[in-house]
Amino acid sequence: MPFAARGRVASLVVLVATSALGVGLLPATAYAANSGSTTTAAAAAAQQKLDALSIQADRAVEAYDQAQAALATVTARAAAAKQFTAKQQALVDAAKLGVQSFAVARYEGGTTSPALAVLLSRDPSKFMQQAQMLEQVSRHESASLTQLVDADRSLMASQVGADQAVAAQQQASARLAASKAAVEKIIGSQQVLVSKLETQAQAEQAAAAAAAARAASAQQTVSRALVRAQVPSVRPVVLPASAPAPAPAPVATVAPPAASGRASAVLAYAYAQLGKPYRFGGAGPGSYDCSGLTMRAYGAAGLSLAHSAAAQQHEGARVPMSQLQPGDLIFWGNPAYHVAIYVGGGGILDAAHTGTLISVHGLWGSPSGAVRP
């Protein structure tokens, strides 16, 4: 083939290849860029909403735990009131039986009881003794009547107390149900957002991978055409690909850090729970919420803590954040709505929120303080 003809063919190949590149490569580049930026922005917004919902859920769970503690207290008071009422009822019954016996004696003996009839003999020498005995019987009858009235009043008071305790218990139960409903509603919204975020991330990855594959194929086609035409190769175009931010790597292994005394037992228990699911109100053994986990961990070390982050915030000596030691409790919010166990090296172990597993990760946000129980 003449040189001029070969040149025209080469130009034609370059033109065709360039056209193919323009058809196959540019739309893919534009799609990847537009889709990536849109999905990334949506994912970031969804993540912000998810973080906000997580904090709201933590606060609702804390309210649930406090209501549960109040319910237990009211239940104990109601039980004590009922026991007292039962004792007072026994006293009232005994007093009524005594008064009834006096009434029967009066009825059967006319104006006097059989005991008094024996005493009221015609022997003048026994008059003083009879008078003394009569006075004692009268005092006994009066005392019995007084005891009956007092016991009856006490019984009524104890019954009122028991009724008030039951009413308070019912109110606590209503608050507990409302808190639980609020938590479930927040959790439902949270799960929807998490699902949406995962779907968006998968779509972003698929779009980026498809665009990259189309671009690579187009570049290979151009390169082969240019080589066959014996023209200089064109430098491949590197396409930007969006990808979700990598998850933070754990800051500790599954082995608890070295510690001594009570902290060693706390960490040993907490690390044994790694991988178990979060559940609001959970206190083991299969699932936990944040304060349920810390309560059980310190319980394994022989120390009783309340099932409440706000309460645990005051159940120990305050520790500056710069002087944290493994086993210390770190809190968020004042009053606290979340609590975690410090494991050293800037890491914490906690039950975060619904949809997560108990894990070890880095400190986040702005903790409100720490205590050493």
Per-residue burial over 130-149, b if 16 or more Cβ lie within 10 Å, else e, is beebeeebeeebeebeebbe
Q: In sequence order, what E strands does the chain have?
A: 317-318, 329-332, 338-344, 347-350, 359-362, 369-372
Please name every residue paired with 340 in a beta bridge, in sequence order, or none if there are none: 330
* CB contact at 8 A, 21 and 201: no
pLDDT at site 37: 66
pLDDT reported for residue 361: 94
Are 296 and 305 spatial neighbours (Cβ–Cβ below 8 Å)?
Answer: no
Which domains occur in the chain, in start order?
A: 3-228 (1.10.287), 261-372 (3.90.1720.10)
Report the relative pairing of strands 359-362 and 347-350 from DSSP bridges: antiparallel
Burial (Cβ within 10 Å: 0-12, 13-18, ≥19) of residue 107: exposed
| Per-residue pLDDT at 342 | 97
User: pLDDT at position 304, please?
Assistant: 96
Say what the pLDDT of residue 13 is: 40
pLDDT for the residue numbered 239: 41
Check if the beta carbon of residue 262 is closer than 8 Å to that of residue 251: no
d(CA 318, CA 324): 10
C-alpha dihedral (336, 337, 341, 343), degrees to nearest 10: -90
Question: 10 Å Cβ neighbour count for 306?
Answer: 17
Cα angle, residue 54 at apex, residues 330 and 328 outer, rounded to 5°: 10
Cα dihedral across residues 293, 299, 301, 304: positive or negative: positive
Q: Which residues pair with 357 in a beta bridge?
A: 277
Q: Where are the alpha helices (DSSP H) in 110-126?
A: 114-119
Place of tokens 């003083």: 128
Quick one: pLDDT at residue 216? Answer: 82
Tell me what pLDDT residue 22 has.
43
Check if the beta carbon of residue 347 is closer than 8 Å to that of residue 362: yes
CA distance 82 to 258: 51
Separation of alpha carbons 15 and 23, rounded Å:
12
Mean pLDDT for each consecutive 10-residue tract of the chain (373 residues)? Answer: 44 42 45 58 75 77 81 80 73 63 55 47 53 56 63 70 77 77 76 77 81 82 65 44 42 67 95 94 94 97 96 96 96 96 96 91 94 97
In the 3-class helix/strand/coil scheme, how is 248-312 assigned residue by residue?
CCCCCCCCCCCCCHHHHHHHHHHHHCCCCEECCCCECCCCECHHHHHHHHHHHCCCCCCCCHHHH
Nearest to 297 by CA among 349, 364, 356: 349
pLDDT of residue 317: 97
Q: What pLDDT is attached to residue 96?
A: 62
- Please name which of 71, 70, 55, 67 lies closest in space to residue 290, comparing C-alpha atoms: 55
**CA distance between the termini of the chain:** 92
Q: What confidence score (pLDDT) does residue 7 get?
A: 45
